[in-house]
A and B are shown apart, each in its own frame.
Chain A
């Protein structure tokens, strides 16, 4: 099955990009293969593991399920963007990353969640972190140090 290519414009990590791809190409593939941004990883291809999580207009989405035509005019944020440093430092210090394949997705979801907490004026809790990250599967850590990393990142904010 092949589809005609369409021209799409959207912003990636603050920079305007333009691609000509099939309308229903997975955003994941467009980011990795068209735009060379390999930091977003594929674990399952069916929206189950969350390793492919990116932000679209600030919302965490499984990029393997997003048809690229739907991000036209949107702001897409991948792990390569600036603004993740606090969360990244926390993951390193708290042992939140072991093999690293789920880590970019975890960090992206964590950032979106913490920004949501800040917007709502809510202090994050362990249980809220557990729920916020339930769409990001990890097989290595048992999640404890990932949740600790998320909470530590909140503590590190300026």
Chain B
């Protein structure tokens, strides 16, 4: 070609290259992944016997067999489905990576390239998730087969659809929240303790420690409306049939509202922060 140096195949091509390269890198750690994937479920063993003892004690003392509508089988199924939900919405290290990129002045290499920093981060994390699910495709089914007796509710079609949408929502809420917190590095340099507190809070409010509906009644309005529930609690609740069918649409709508809010917040923080970053001479 005369005079042309490069031919840009398509705007998405560069994102694809990152995705595939990163995926290949992760594949080399495959053995570690399989190992980790199986032992990841070990805590479930204790959970199964611990809650069994709780429900047995309740039975012996004549208390009702469900706690806030959750039977023993339900609660175990909840913790099991939690693994699936977190497989879509947890992005370990993202907050601190973004924080580090800003703090150490490494943003420059992304800013001079014709691509969005967000776009890069999303592809990077997506690649990680793809590898996770590639391995999970082999390790999860056998484990869930072993746990099949805990699933007493067969999800209806609307519930399955809502579950898939809620997973989609959880991905975006998860990653956007990481952006927002990571972007705070534009203003605060040393926030390791803060990051940790935020992560603990996220862990708790997303229902990973305890199903949100079992927590004290006084907290319920806050818990149900807060965005973190969408990261793990709601997908599990939907799958377990704990959300009435007529509530599903409204629930998902609020989820999308939160995505919108987080998206706007992250874009705003990015714009303002970038000005500040360049002003300091990045």
* A and B: bona fide binding partners: no
